[in-house]
Amino acid sequence: MEESWTPCLSKAGFTSCRNDCKEYCAIFLPLTFIVFFKGLVPKEAGFAAMIAGIMVACLWPFIFPDSANALFPSLAFNLLFLVPGVLWSLYKNKDRRV
């Protein structure tokens, strides 16, 4: 039988499916920011973004069981920590930039 592309957490509980993106969506933006904004992402902001992304990805299906998956909310919470971290780093180091 072919696997379905349903949400991994349904009202009935855990199901086996191939669209389990929880781990990837929690670390995608922090790693992308580290690559493209080298030296500007404080380690605290990156760590907080990863923890927030993982927590949202794990808790989202229980809070909103009818939503498809937690990809976009997890990315939004990643940005909630990464963007202020980069802006703070830019503000703090503006005198040292040439």
> Could you read off the pLDDT of 4-50 as tens digits, one per residue?
444 454 444 444 444 455 556 678 888 888 888 888 889 899 999 99
pLDDT at 80 over 90: yes
In angstroms, rounded to a whole number, what is the distance separating the alpha carbons of residues 5 and 3?
7
pTM score: 0.68
Count of beta carbons in the 10 Å neighbourhood of residue 74? 27
Write down the H helix ranges in the chain: 22-36, 43-63, 71-92
- The mean per-residue pLDDT over the stretch 73-93 comes to 90
